[in-house]
Structure 1
Amino acid sequence: MSNERASIKINKRTVDAALPTAARYVLWDVDLKGFGLRVEPSGVKSFIARYRPGAGGRTAPKRFVSLGRYGALTPDDARRLAREILGAAANGQDPADAIVKERAAASVTELANAFVAEHVKKKRKSKTIESYEHVINAYLVPAFGTRKANALPRADLSRLHGKLSDKPAIANRLVAVASSMFSWGSQHGYVPEGFNPAARIEKYKEIQRERFLSTDELERMGEALREAETIGLPWEPDQSKAKAKHAPKAENRRVKISGEVVAAIRLLLLTGARLREILHLRWTYVDLERGLLLLPESKTGRKTIILNAPALLIIEGLNRTSPFVIPGDDPEKPRSDLKRPWAAVSARAGLTGVRLHDLRHTHASFGAGSGMGLPIIGKLLGHSQAATTARYAHLDADPLRRASNKIGGALSAALEGKLKAEVLPIKKIRP
């Protein structure tokens, strides 16, 4: 330890008067035993506390705790901290050991890495893994990565949630992922049991996006698909680039889209399947005889998709050149996405703000509009919860139209004086 000097009353005057020397030294307080001021040769002054842990006594080793630097900490504040630590030591505790454990506690980054490796990647599907990793790496780690996971205040996480108010879906996803992460950390000793700073953070109301293609839009989409697989879709050169003037003539500026890609787009609409369910579809999952797609895994687990006649005809017309119904550039791998071809088709068809997933919504909307009933539509789409299908309830127009027509007819008849109560004769009761 440093050279020790005579005890003094540690206050602002004596601390300011303590001058550095060639070697570090310590001044001990005359009133509070174990409270000291350490002076470095560099002139840096810091407050310390010294005690013997456990039952104390001269046989116990001395422990030292750094309370903080002078300037950031006043002598009075340091005295209060020293009194708490020395009091805890007198009661048999070891404050220095607790501080060491606190400093060794996992950071938010360490908790996040363990959470993803030991939980998310082992128990979640690939799309969910991507979503979790994006939220963690784009928001949680940049904001709190070096902070101790067991000391992250709810207020700090709530402020980050507030900064994303213009992106309510992302803000709410942030809270959900953080809640799951800290809940897992609590179960596995990374943070105290029950500690979860994401708890009770009120989420934003999200406006659910609904986009269904009209009959006219479907006609334009069909024309664009037929054009894409036959003569190709026209394209325009980028006039901002120097090579634009060397572009082919307009009649030669067309690009074809493969039959498999066009088939995939049509299947998304005709079956209401999710994108990955079609792109990752293997021929071994296809039962042409019974007209079924038997998926061993989907977002909601095992799933059977019923192929209607047009969808069955499309699949029967495809060549089996790969284990996958919609092969990628490498026949042994599925196609990764349909972004570029769909952008070209939707632009040609004049479809504004239409995502590929909206084809699934359109499939469901046609069923709801035909009065098929939400339970049936839910089964066709593979929904595991009725609440998921309920978003299409307002499209189930037939029962409402019948009710409205009945009410309107009665009111109209009343206005025209034609509404008469039907009088039924009362039968005489024989004695």
Structure 2
Amino acid sequence: MPKLSKRVVEGAEPQSTDYVIWDDELPGFGLRVFKSGKRSYLIQYRSAGRSRRYSIGVHGVWTPELARKEAKIQLGRVAQGDNPAEERQLDHKAVTVKELCELYLKDFEAGLILGKGGRPKKSTTLVTDTGRIHRHIIPLIGTRRVKDLVKADVNKVLKDIMAGKTRASVKTKKLRGRANVRGGVGTATRTVGLLGGILTYAVEAGIIEHNPAHGIRKPKDNVRNRRLTEAEYRTLGEMLEEAAKDEKYAITV
């Protein structure tokens, strides 16, 4: 087993299933490599005859050095009879989907949510994610406890959005502005994809052990292959520019 250095951590390749690389200098300290490619530091220890795991945090937010220091602190608490995993579990039992979404958006704004290529998600994505969270996810399951969610709940979110149950006319920040929120197949597919990402975030944060959105069959989004011509792009730009001057309109997702 190698020492968990930056070279080892960043060189760890994802496999078909999650796996753990254990540190050879600090027993119980390891790196969980998700099949998605994300990496998270953890400790494993025994308490009351049971093996327990405690998630420290995601690589990128945590460096190997800082994670090692935190591991020593938590393992020191274990040696004194504490059970950090159980304490965290008790704290997380009451976490609702709404509270989880707020934590996700807070970390997103801080640049801690990674997208493709391991780079922070773009600020433009924050706008669309926020809209989908507040207009679809929270109205449907915001009061539910995260730990209680099962695959059937996520599937119901998909079907409810497809059926237009979250359709509404909401007020925007613009004076007299309104936004028409619509459902449909495309919105449902993208929103449940986002929900799956948020639940993966919850797994990596140690709030839940498994993602109930995994394996959900989503309808294909209506992707169009034809590109606009140069003239059509100019026309679209002129229309958007005119619409922006009218405070009654807002662009929605």
TM class by smaller structure? 0.3 to 0.5
Indicate the structure (1 or 2) with the bigger Cα radius of gyration: 1
Higher relative contact order (CA 8 A, sep 6+): 2
Question: TM-score of the superposition, structure 2-length normalised?
Answer: 0.37
Question: TM-score of the superposition, structure 1-length normalised?
Answer: 0.22
